[in-house]
């Protein structure tokens, strides 16, 4: 029996932060532990081109993200790792899928409208981003797609693309199922109403931050009224965010952390959280420093992964071409 396939990717756009790790990479690590699943994790470099960027820095960002993934625990022996643009078949799959998706669906995508409202150019790349994402998924006939809640609409479009193609050209794709990370939308340290983001650097904890920077950012994080350290997302959203981070990095239940700090001040609690982060991220940074030195090995790992991914995508593309009547 064929293994279910999991597909997910990360955009190489600047440095990774805690939200990226807890909302995506930590789930990748959990998936790769299951031998009954075939995992495909990729660097979404084509997707990263839909916003303004410095071309001279993009290659280094890709290398950094490759090193980040490996340093955090993504294992090339347990998952297929590849770079999106290496798999040329995905762009061809995207074109064929574009013919079973309406322009209206693309124009109504929430993320597209939000980014345009924020001043991002309404390029064809940004508009067609969801079709390329559908191709990322369907080229491998994925069963499951682990993504953040903000990507739900994109996954639904991929599901529509699969159903529409099957209806028009015959059964070809399984309809993929989104797996949405619950409760781990890490918030900005200086504004718990917004998710942690590179666009809010003061409230963003980067995996590459020095111990001094981590402690400074945690100490300056906003807190809620009152002095009791309890998990209450509705009434104490800032504290709930800090407790979530503490729990995830210490691998301890929030209830236990609350007990430990029953009589602590916010300052003592924050310093304890900073200690946990510094300890965990120092280990990651040390591993990364060793891994990124050997760029030839990084290229080798992803080249081998791309070879495997390309073979599968090529098989899907061939089937699609046959069913759509192409030569």
Alpha-carbon span 242 to 196, nearest angstrom: 12
Exposure letters 246-285 (e unless 16+ CB within 10 A, then b): bbbbbeeeeeebbeebeebebeebbebbbebbbebbeebe
Instruction: Determine the 3-state secondary structure of 78 from DSSP.
Output: coil
Would you say 91 and 311 are in contact if contact means Cβ atoms under 8 Å apart?
A: no
Measured distance CA(269)–CA(275) in Å, rounded: 10
Query: How far apart (Å, rounded) are the C-alpha atoms in residues 100 and 133?
Result: 14
Whole-angstrom distance, CA of residue 269 vs CA of residue 224: 13
Q: How far apart are the first and last CA of the chain?
A: 31
- 255 noted as active-site residue: no
By residue count, the chain amounts to 327
Of the residues 58, 115, 321, 323, only one is catalytic, namely 115
- Residue 105 and residue 322 in contact, taking contact as beta carbons nearer than 8 Å: no
**Is 78 tagged catalytic?**
no
Of 26, 58, 198, 323, which is the active-site residue?
198
Structure tokens at 138: 């369907």
Cβ–Cβ under 8 Å, residues 229 and 264 = yes
Question: What are the backbone angles phi and psi of residue 15, rounded to the nearest 5°?
Answer: -80, 145
Look up 36 and say whether it is catalytic: no
Pairing of strands 191-195, 187-188: antiparallel
CA 291 to CA 300: how far, in whole Å? 13
Q: Which residue, among 197, 179, 180, has the nearest Cα to 188 in the 3D structure? A: 197
Give CA–CA dist 8/3, Å, rounded.
16
Tokens read off for 1: 């029996």
Find the catalytic residue in 195, 217, 236, 288. Answer: 195
Residues acting as catalytic residues: 115, 195, 198
């Amino acid at each position: 029996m064929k293994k279910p396939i999991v597909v997910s990717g990360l955009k190489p756009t600047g440095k990774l932060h805690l939200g990226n790790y807890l909302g995506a990479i930590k789930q990748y690590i959990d998936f790769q532990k299951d031998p009954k699943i075939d995992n495909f994790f990729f660097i979404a470099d084509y997707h990263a081109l839909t916003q303004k960027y410095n071309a001279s820095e993009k290659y280094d960002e890709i290398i950094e993200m490759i090193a980040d993934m490996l340093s955090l625990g993504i294992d090339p022996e347990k998952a297929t790792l590849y770079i999106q643009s290496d798999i040329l078949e995905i762009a061809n799959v995207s074109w064929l899928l574009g013919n079973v998706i309406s322009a209206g669906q693309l124009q109504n995508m929430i993320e597209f409208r939000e980014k345009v409202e924020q001043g991002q150019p309404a390029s064809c790349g940004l508009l067609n981003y969801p079709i390329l994402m559908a191709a990322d998924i369907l080229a491998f006939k994925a069963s499951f797609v682990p993504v953040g809640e903000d990507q739900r609409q994109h996954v639904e479009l991929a599901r529509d693309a699969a159903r529409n193609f099957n209806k028009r050209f015959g059964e070809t794709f399984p309809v993929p199922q989104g797996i949405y990370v619950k409760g781990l939308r890490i918030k900005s340290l200086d504004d718990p109403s917004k998710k942690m983001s590179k666009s809010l650097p003061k409230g963003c904890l980067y995996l590459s931050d020095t111990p001094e920077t981590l402690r400074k950012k945690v100490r300056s994080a906003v807190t809620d009224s009152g002095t009791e350290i309890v998990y209450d997302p509705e009434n104490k959203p800032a504290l709930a965010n800090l407790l979530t981070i503490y729990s995830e990095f210490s691998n301890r239940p929030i209830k236990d952390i609350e007990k430990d700090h029953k009589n602590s001040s916010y300052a003592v609690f924050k310093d304890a959280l900073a200690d946990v982060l510094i300890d965990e991220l120092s280990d990651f940074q040390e591993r990364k420093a060793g891994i990124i030195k050997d760029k030839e090995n990084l290229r080798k790992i992803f080249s081998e992964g791309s070879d495997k991914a390309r073979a599968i995508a090529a098989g899907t593309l061939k089937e699609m071409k046959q069913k759509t009547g192409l030569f």
